[in-house]
Structure 1
Amino acid sequence: MSWARSSDMLGERLGFIAGETTLDQNLSTCLPESPLRSEGCKQVRIILTPLSATGGEGHYRHLTQKCLLEEFSSCEESSGEEPKAKKACTRLSDRQTRAVTCSTESRRPASVAATASNDLEEEGDSESETPTLDNYSTQLSAYERKRLKNITENAKFFASLKLFESAERLRKITTKGQPHGIRTKPTKTETKPICRRSMRLQRVDPLGAPLPELRPQPEPSMEEHPRLPPGPLQMIPADRDQETELTEGFLNLWARISQETLNKAEKPVACNLESYKASLRRMVLREDAVAKVVKNRIHSVAIHPSESRTLVAAGDKWGQMGLWNLDCKLEDGVHVFELHSQAVSCMHFSPFNPAHLLSLSHDGTLRCGDVTRAVFDEVYRNEEYNLSSFDFLASDASTLIVGMWDGEVAVVDRRTPGTSAELSADLNSKTRTVHVHPVSRHHFLAAGAGNVNIYDVRHLKQHGSSPAVSLVGHTKSVASAYFSPVTGNRVVTTCADDKLRIFGTNCLSSLAPILTTIRHNNNTGRWLTRFRAIWDAKREDCFVVGSMSRPRQIEVFHASGELVHSFLSEDYLGSVCSINAWHPTRYIVVGGNSSGRLHVFRE
């Protein structure tokens, strides 16, 4: 190996030990012309002691460099004199080691640099002077000197900013007054969503001009609808301008079709489920089968059992009763009577004599419209304004069971003179609907605030009547409960917990099990009448109920929970029909909405 190559390796090794790569590695340029080059020496071996990788202050104190020359030429070994090249190499090695050590210590802490400087003074050559930082910095490259200068200036700049002192003051301010170890969650600023309003709500016409302010119309109150006087009322239409001949012709038609129905008295023929579905699919809603019958929200609907004519009745929120004959023109077919002052919550044509239409209102009166005498008789009167529903106890409709909001029921006999009850009993629960068993007619259902019970009218007491069977499982108030029309072996309930339940009532002396539970949206809100699931009188296992789904529809379910059919009409049905009723023998369904309008689906 040549002397120039050995010098290059020495510079590279020293630069690696000091952690720098910018030292001048061409050490051959700083050496004098060596006699070894001309005399053809064999080999120069340089052994360096590396720094420890673990690092520490003690390791820098033992920085030593040794330059050993071996295997010189035989002429130099025999003369016994120390070669001049060996002396030059030793002095160069010591000087270069001190320079690299000084360059490395410029980036160490002051204590470490001072220790290394002391070691260099002790171990240095006696013939050389004591090295200083300025002396050795001159041996660095221009890039290294510039780098050291930048580091010094940056350190002075950051020291002048006093960042650590400012951070400490802020930390003391934020933590002042707060207990240690407790972190408070920052409050989020809520951004209010931008609500867009239509021009109609902004009271602006399409051209941008403001519309005149509308005066709010208050809802009618009980003072505006006083209670009607007791006693019978004549069948006089509410619209006094209506022709008397039309009213008389309608009443004659009602009496005639009632007599025809009594003479026939045919029972519906049962069919299988597939034939029943096909019949429901043939039922449609036409334009002439939609009409506004009463002014306000409909609370009850009834259908005359005639086979030849279609006559429907509806009762609204403020006591009006509307009767509509669908077999004539609309302007001549609707007749409205005012016979109550509050909501007509229950209405039935008498199954024994369809010429009688009985209606019950929240105003505390139960009336019977007798078309043969053109009068509305007062059957029962309660001064406390708390009647809710009624049903026929006897098959000849001579006795009635009347439910009240405060949990009482009354047995009324129409054959007894006067408007008082024959029997009153307390059921200890709010009663919305009552319904009599179709076979065992001394049993009746009472549904109300979360309780559905079956009572025996023979065991009623004035205080503390006990039910024969309780239908448990409801979590909120129950709007209705009805026996199946043929055998009474099932009961369907409509509950505010958005469920329709089917109970088995084969045995009326034990607990009735739940057969089916159907998820159904019953949240009608304030402005809609609550749903009531009603059995189809032609079948034992199907019932109809209103729906909140879109498009608007009326739904028919099977007792197993299957949705049998949905009555739809994109053109003529655009509202929720809360109250619905079946024709007892024909395929006719009537739905009433909250604007007083009836929708009649038929074949």
Structure 2
Amino acid sequence: MALSHAGTEEPEEPSPRTRQRMQESTPPGTAELQPSPEQAGRRAASARQLRVLLTPLAVAGRRLPQKRLLRAYGGGAGRAAAGKRLCLEPPPARAGPPEPASPPAAPAAGTGPGGAWDAESDGSDAGEAPPDEYSQLSAYERKRLKNITENAKFFAALKLHESAARLHQIATKRQSHVTKRAKPKKAEDETVRRRSMRLQRVEPSGIPMLEMPAQPGAEEQPEVPAGPLPMVPEDQTGNSKLTEDLLATWMRISEIKANGTEKRTCDIKRYQDSLNSMVLSEDNIKKVVKYRVASMAIHPSESIILVAAGDKSGQIGLWNVNCKSEEGAQVFVAHNYVVSCMHFSPFNPAHLLSLSNDTLRCGDVTRAVFDEVCRSEGNLSCFDFLEDNASTAIVGYWDGDVAVVDRRTPGASLELSADIGFRRTRTVHVHPVNKQYFVAAGSVDVCIFDVRYLKAKGNKPVSSLKGHTKSVASAYFSPVTGNRVVTVCADDKLRVYDTTALSPAAAVLSSVSRNNNTGRWLTRFRAIWDPKQEDCFVVGSMAQPRQIEVFQDTGKLLHAFYNLDCLGSVCSINVVHPSKNILVGGNSSGRLHVFKE
């Protein structure tokens, strides 16, 4: 497009293809009329402007390349009109008859409608007569518009928008299903654990059992106050004369000094015969405490069999086995927690010392009171006497420490607290000859310490009993010489160590493989030595039929106490009389079984 020097726009000469179209569209009889050059230029510009108005179609979802159409249709005129506003309105019709257009010339090879050939155009026609409004378009343009129309109809037939909306709705519903539910808030009175109807004391029909109210648990019992407690049975409505008779019997048999050393035997054959002579009968079975037996002690008297048992709720039961009446046992509440250790004083059997988590008490039958020896904020686990007169004791803690208690000191405080490097201390036992040594059993460690060198930190053992791979339940010296230590471990082994020389690493004499897995509801096994026999110990068993086993320190099984009619439970805690052939076993229901001649 050329511009004059005056700045006015000169009409561009129509292209040969435009002149050809104008010649073809001229009616017959008017071809001889030749318009002037100005008229021909105006008609060509009008035709190009008309093409811009007719070409774009409103196709949903698709944008037409308007720049390309303008370049194709406008040619030079489009470049001349750059920077001006494109008028989308058709030009106003001119008054008067239309002037015939001059026949256009043939288009040059390699050029398109606007003077430049479109590389995408194949020059073919659609094969159909175009409508009147498309009469000014080329074959490629008509083909292209037809394809656009057909594609729009095809996509409309597919209904993609409806399908997309339906899929979105389905996805939204699925997402709503997978959303996590908000956890309902627990009610304040809602129990944490589910309880069966049996535990709730409810019949299957849903009617509460009013005639059998549920027994209160250990946590529901009234708290035991600190300080001395009177020896009053738990059942206040019971006959007080029965309690007085029991305490009087305890006081009477404590005045007689028992001598058990003369009846110690060394011959295994005679010892086995004595074990075979001990039997269990129905008369010698009694429920002494309400809950699981955690500790026991037997009075050294040779005339009357008096047994004390402590359970997991803090109760202490006293049973006169020689009393055949139902009132032969009395229960006292002396502690708030499990009674884990009990001993009659070897110097004065009128004293029964019992230990719970927070207190060590001495039951003095002469004053009919449970006195408080010491009280600690920590959790006490076990104790043993350091002297024959039972004036001092070594106490173990569940957190691993040990302490020394002097009963002669006024008050309830500890004399010394020492960290021995244990994570847990389950049992402590003093050497029967050299009272300065004690053995402590912990989580995996079993060590012998010298109480004379105990200090707050940095205590080193005199001897270590190694080889345990799991937690140890107990460790005790042999009763006469202390040359042996028997341990019970959760790795299902009973081990006997040689502690004659107290070397830094004690040697293992024997090892017995057996089932020591008592589980949650049973008290852990404790292997105790028979006070009458230096080289034999007694331990509970998980074997069937239920039994109590006796082993020699060599690992040999000497005897098994059982009774198919009377013994049907595991006796985890056992105690042997120091001078008579009497064995007492306690189970998890608070029942005691007495084997005797």
Q: Which TM-score applies when normalising by structure 2? A: 0.64
Aligned match for 1:334, one of 326, 329, 332: 329
CA distance in structure 1 between the partners assigned to 2:207 and 2:268 by the alignment: 56
Aligned match for 2:393, one of 394, 400, 404: 400
Q: Secondary structure at the match of 1:493?
A: strand
Per-residue CA deviation, residues 396-435 of structure 1 (Å, 9 max, x unaligned), is: 1010000001111110010110111111101121100000
CA distance in structure 1 between the partners assigned to 2:253 and 2:293 by the alignment: 25
More helix by share: 1
2:469 maps to 1:493: no
Summarize the Cα distance change of 1:433–1:210 in structure 2 as closer, same or farther, 3 Å threshold: closer
Per-residue CA deviation, residues 96-137 of structure 1 (Å, 9 max, x unaligned), is: xxxxxxxxxxxxxxxxxxxxxxxxxxxxxxxxxxxxxxxxxx
CA distance in structure 2 between the partners assigned to 1:286 and 1:222 by the alignment: 31
2:384 matched residue in structure 1 = 391
Letter in 1 for 2:431: H
Summarize the Cα distance change of 1:529–1:560 in structure 2 as closer, same or farther, 3 Å threshold: same
1:445 matched residue in structure 2 = 439
Moved beyond 6 Å, runs of 4+: 213-222
RMSD: 2.1
1:310 matched residue in structure 2 = 305
CA distance in structure 2 between the partners assigned to 1:581 and 1:405 by the alignment: 23
2:373 matched residue in structure 1 = 379
2:231 matched residue in structure 1 = 235
2:348 maps to 1:353: yes
CA distance in structure 1 between the partners assigned to 2:233 and 2:254 by the alignment: 21
Deviation at 1:498, TM superposition (A): 0.4
Check conservation: 1:300, 1:344, Cα contact below 8 A.
yes
Letter in 2 for 1:350: S
Q: Secondary structure at the match of 1:286?
A: strand
CA distance in structure 2 between the partners assigned to 1:283 and 1:479 by the alignment: 27
CA distance in structure 1 between the partners assigned to 2:350 and 2:307 by the alignment: 13
Deviation at 1:328, TM superposition (A): 1.1
Q: Secondary structure at the match of 2:558?
A: strand
2:280 maps to 1:285: yes
2:505 maps to 1:511: yes
1:564 matched residue in structure 2 = 558
Check conservation: 1:261, 1:307, Cα contact below 8 A.
no
Summarize the Cα distance change of 1:220–1:462 in structure 2 as closer, same or farther, 3 Å threshold: farther
Deviation at 1:314, TM superposition (A): 0.5
Deviation at 1:448, TM superposition (A): 1.1
Summarize the Cα distance change of 1:575–1:417 in structure 2 as closer, same or farther, 3 Å threshold: same
Pick which of 573-582 and 266-275 moved more.
266-275
Check conservation: 2:363, 2:371, Cα contact below 8 A.
yes
Deviation at 1:514, TM superposition (A): 0.5
CA distance in structure 2 between the partners assigned to 1:202 and 1:442 by the alignment: 55
Check conservation: 1:349, 1:357, Cα contact below 8 A.
yes
2:359 maps to 1:365: yes
Per-residue CA deviation, residues 535-567 of structure 1 (Å, 9 max, x unaligned), is: 000011100000001110000011111110000
Deviation at 1:311, TM superposition (A): 0.6
Aligned match for 1:527, one of 521, 527, 530: 521
Summarize the Cα distance change of 1:202–1:300 in structure 2 as closer, same or farther, 3 Å threshold: closer
CA distance in structure 1 between the partners assigned to 2:506 and 2:321 by the alignment: 42
CA distance in structure 2 between the partners assigned to 1:395 and 1:324 by the alignment: 26
The number of aligned residues is: 395
Deviation at 1:298, TM superposition (A): 0.3
Check conservation: 2:264, 2:533, Cα contact below 8 A.
no
CA distance in structure 2 between the partners assigned to 1:278 and 1:211 by the alignment: 56
CA distance in structure 1 between the partners assigned to 2:263 and 2:206 by the alignment: 58
Aligned match for 2:538, one of 530, 544, 547: 544
1:409 matched residue in structure 2 = 402
Mapping 1:39-438, distance limit 5 Å = 212=206, 223-225=219-221, 227-261=223-257, 267-362=262-357, 364-384=358-378, 386-429=379-422, 430-438=424-432
1:6 matched residue in structure 2 = none
Check conservation: 1:301, 1:580, Cα contact below 8 A.
yes
CA distance in structure 2 between the partners assigned to 1:444 and 1:586 by the alignment: 27
Unaligned runs of 5+ in 2: 1-195
Unaligned runs of 5+ in 1: 1-200, 204-208
Letter in 2 for 1:348: H
Summarize the Cα distance change of 1:394–1:538 in structure 2 as closer, same or farther, 3 Å threshold: same
Deviation at 1:266, TM superposition (A): 5.2
Check conservation: 2:584, 2:593, Cα contact below 8 A.
yes
Letter in 2 for 1:228: V
Aligned match for 2:448, one of 451, 454, 459: 454
Q: Secondary structure at the match of 1:287?
A: strand
Q: Secondary structure at the match of 1:525?
A: coil
Q: Which TM-score applies when normalising by structure 1? A: 0.63
Letter in 2 for 1:346: C
Per-residue CA deviation, residues 293-348 of structure 1 (Å, 9 max, x unaligned), is: 00000000111000111111100000000010011124121011000011000000
Deviation at 1:267, TM superposition (A): 3.9
CA distance in structure 2 between the partners assigned to 1:457 and 1:528 by the alignment: 33
2:568 matched residue in structure 1 = 574
CA distance in structure 2 between the partners assigned to 1:350 and 1:298 by the alignment: 20
